[in-house]
Each structure stands twice: as C-alpha cells, then as structure tokens.
C-alpha cells in the first residue's frame, strides 16, 4: 500500500501562508498568546498585524504557552480520519519550547510507526521551511521512511539567522539562551542570532547599526547557500515590511538565488522577539 502522508506543525514554525493554502495535507496546532487575562490562539484569533499593533501599546508584556498534548492529538486524529496513513510532525526547537514534547506525547497515542515527530532545532521560518520541504517530498512520492531520513538530513544542514533590534523581549521571556552575555553590555548593539545544533539561541555577531547587522546576516546566509546545490531561501519579518524588502533584494544579489518565500513572524514568536525582527532561513536539501 502506498503511504498517504500528512504533516503537522506548531504555529511557531511559521510555514508560509501560500504553502498552507496550497496543501490539504498539513495542519497547524496553535500556541497560545496571552495579554493579561485574554488568551488568543496564535495566528487564529489574533493576526500578526493585530498582535504587533497591540504590543506597541500594551502596558504589560504578553506571554505564550505551548499547546497541550490533547490539542496536537486532536489534529493528528483529524488527519487519520481524513484517510492519511502516516503523519510527520515538525516542531520548533525543543530546547526553546515544550511544544515538541507535547507533540511526542500526542504521537504516543497512535500505533507505532504511524506518527514521527522531528525537532527542527530551529524556530519560525527555519522550522517552517522544513515542513515546506517535507510537503514537496511527499508530492514527489517518497515513502514515510524516506521522508523522515531526508528531512532529518536537511535539518542538519540548514541554518536560520535573525536580526533583532532589541534583546528586551528575549530577556523578559526567558528565551535568551547563549545570547545572555549581550544584555546590559552596550544598549545600542544590534545583534544577529541563530540556533545552535541543539536549538539554543547564540550570538552570530554584535553590530553597531542595523545596516551592519543585516549585512552580516546576509553574508552568513550566502555562505551557507554557496556550498549547496538544492537550496530554498525564505525571509520573514515582525512588522517591518520595508526592511523585509531591502533584505530580500540584498540577499538575492549576494546569493545569486531567488528568495522563494516571505512571511510574517507569528505572534507566538513575536512575544519573545518584539517588533522589527527580520530573519533569513537557508534550507539545504542535498
């Protein structure tokens, strides 16, 4: 019997909206965003534009919560009910969120070998492009075992980079990781961060201006792309469309490759990064 495979992700994976709209075999489990006593399903009850607008005027910083295992289990059951025989889950880094553990607990409720959950060891569009790659592989007719192997290989070779105007939100949310040494050093530092092999944030560079930070981020991304044949590139932003466009233009010039996808940073991630972020992912498939 031919494997009929579906994908399940968390909303922090920032799968491009165009991809979600074009594929019926993917479901998104939302994280929860909380402003005071008000809870919202990430990117369901509150859009990125609504979130960042509210963030600018909120007296209290919002918080996030990972989905409960039951929420992931419910989405998985929906996919099985729709006739899919196997499900691949892809989540943001387990080192940054308990979402991956929730997905694994949910997967354990189904027959062995029918659900596999992979830790992208990345976040945002970095995780989202792994799901996009998985959907392309499924369309090409791979088996479930081949899919898992190829996505794992891609996770090992792909990279994500983020320019963050301020560390205030990462620090407040406790997601600072190995970037902590920058806090309180020089207020005007413009950092570029990435995810290490274990998924934890670390500092790529400390720049004195936005232009230098973005330039360094583009140079790092171009270096990853230069050594690969099969590459997909995406750029995401947190309420900063002008910088998104400039970054795309400069990135295409630096790599000689098109930017395949652009998108928004989800509210669940925006809680920890604040407005103004621009991130680049280079997904390497070969």
Domain extents in the chain: 5-155, 159-284
In this structure, whether the domain defined by 159-284 belongs to CATH 3.30.1180.10 is answered with: yes
Tens-digit pLDDT profile for residues 181-213? 555 444 568 889 999 999 988 889 888 899 999
Could you give the maximum distance between any two Cα atoms of the chain, in Å?
60
Report which of 211, 156, 143, 177 is spatially closest to residue 2, judged by C-alpha positions: 143
Report which of 180, 16, 195, 21 is spatially closest to residue 92, judged by C-alpha positions: 195
Other Cβ atoms less than 10 A from the Cβ of 108: the count is 12
* CATH code of the region 5-155: 3.40.50.10170
Confidence of residue 1 (pLDDT cuts 50, 70, 90): low
Q: Does position 235 have pLDDT exceeding 70, yes or no?
A: yes
Q: Does position 230 have pLDDT exceeding 50, yes or no?
A: yes
**pLDDT for 178:** 52
Measured at the alpha carbon of residue 91, what is the angle toward residues 194 and 101, in degrees to the nearest 5?
115
**pLDDT for 56:** 87
Torsion sign over Cα 9, 11, 16, 20 = positive
Q: How many residues does the chain have?
A: 286
**pLDDT for 239:** 95
Tens-digit pLDDT profile for residues 146-186? 999 999 999 999 999 999 988 778 777 555 555 655 554 44
């Amino acid at each position: 019997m031919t494997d009929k495979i579906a994908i399940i992700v968390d909303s922090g994976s920032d799968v491009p909206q165009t991809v979600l709209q074009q594929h019926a075999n993917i479901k998104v489990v939302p994280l929860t965003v909380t402003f005071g006593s008000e809870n919202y399903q990430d990117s369901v009850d509150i859009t990125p534009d609504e979130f960042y607008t509210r963030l600018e005027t909120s007296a209290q910083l919002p918080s996030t919560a990972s989905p409960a295992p039951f929420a992931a289990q419910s989405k998985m059951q929906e996919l099985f009910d729709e006739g899919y025989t196997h499900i691949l889950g892809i989540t943001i880094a387990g080192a940054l969120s308990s979402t991956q553990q929730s997905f694994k607990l949910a997967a354990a409720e189904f027959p062995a070998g029918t659900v596999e959950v992979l830790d992208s060891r990345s976040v945002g569009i970095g995780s989202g492009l792994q799901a996009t790659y998985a959907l392309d592989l499924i369309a090409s007719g791979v088996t479930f075992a081949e899919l898992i192997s190829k996505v794992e290989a891609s996770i090992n070779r792909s990279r994500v980079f983020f320019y963050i105007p301020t560390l205030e939100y990462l620090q407040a949310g406790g997601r600072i990781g190995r970037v902590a040494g920058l806090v309180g050093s020089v207020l005007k530092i413009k950092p570029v961060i990435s995810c290490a092999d274990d998924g934890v944030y670390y500092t790529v560079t400390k720049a004195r201006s936005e232009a230098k930070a973005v330039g360094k981020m583009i140079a790092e991304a171009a270096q990853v792309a230069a050594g690969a044949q099969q590459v997909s590139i995406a750029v995401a932003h947190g309420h900063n469309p002008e910088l998104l466009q400039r970054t795309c233009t400069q990135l295409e010039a630096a790599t000689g490759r098109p930017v395949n996808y652009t998108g928004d940073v989800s509210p669940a991630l925006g809680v920890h990064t604040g407005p103004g972020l621009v991130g680049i992912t280079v997904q390497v498939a070969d």
